[in-house]
């Protein structure tokens, strides 16, 4: 049985840079492999919520006690994450990405939520802007002619 999947997305300029054929194939495969489980989990969540509403609280599974009480060890942090004394978070428009990367902060967290109205257009443009920043091809000029570009060292 073949299932037809349609992506209902509005194309915009440079759309294909984000939604490559490989990405679309990947999304289709994800949907085909996990959608039945996703639907089941959503149904299970409704049942669990009814239990919570009745005052039944979640508990840890007895069979996971050894894991919880074990000695946890993880890989060392990458060098880039060891010094996070100064972080900057900001929206993903071109001007703000440039300003954030030029700020001198050791870490920039691209914010696709609170500081960015998460419309379809803004999310796609944000991905394109980050790609341009990573590849050092980002710039921006205001209507008044003020130009923004990445410093040599960011």
User: Beta strand pairing status for 87-90 and 107-110?
Assistant: parallel
Q: What is the DSSP letter of 79?
A: G
Q: What is the pLDDT of residues 37-59, one digit of tens each?
A: 999 999 999 999 999 999 999 99
pLDDT computed for residue 80 by the predictor? 79
pLDDT computed for residue 3 by the predictor? 60
Identify the band that residue 106 occupies on the pLDDT scale cut at 50, 70 and 90. confident
For the purposes of burial, counting CB atoms within 10 Å of the CB of 130, is it exposed (0-12), middle (13-18) or buried (19 or more)? Answer: middle
- Residue 66 to residue 123: CA distance in whole angstroms: 42
Q: What is the pLDDT of residues 57-82, one digit of tens each?
A: 999 999 999 999 999 999 999 987 88
Cβ 102 vs Cβ 154: under 8 Å: yes
pLDDT computed for residue 154 by the predictor? 87
- Residue 50 to residue 42: CA distance in whole angstroms: 13
Q: What is the DSSP letter of 81?
A: G
Q: How far, CA to CA in Å, does 115 sit from each of 85, 90, 91, 108?
A: 22, 6, 5, 14
Return the exposure string of 40-49: e unless at least 16 CB atoms fall within 10 Å of the residue's CB, then b: eeeeeeeeee
């Amino acid at each position: 049985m073949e299932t037809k999947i349609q992506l209902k997305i509005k194309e915009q300029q440079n759309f294909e840079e984000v939604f490559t054929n490989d990405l679309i194939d990947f999304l289709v495969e994800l949907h085909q492999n996990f959608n039945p489980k996703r639907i089941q989990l959503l149904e299970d969540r409704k049942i669990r919520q009814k239990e919570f509403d009745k005052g039944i609280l979640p508990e840890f599974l007895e069979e996971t006690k050894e894991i919880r009480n074990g000695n946890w060890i993880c890989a060392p942090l990458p060098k880039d994450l060891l010094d996070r004394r100064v972080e900057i978070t900001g929206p993903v428009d071109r001007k703000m990405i440039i300003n954030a990367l030029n700020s001198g902060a050791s870490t920039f967290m691209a914010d696709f939520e609170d500081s960015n109205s998460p419309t379809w257009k803004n999310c796609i443009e944000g991905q394109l802007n980050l790609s341009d920043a990573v590849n050092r091809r980002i710039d921006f000029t205001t209507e008044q002619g003020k130009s923004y570009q990445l410093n040599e060292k960011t």
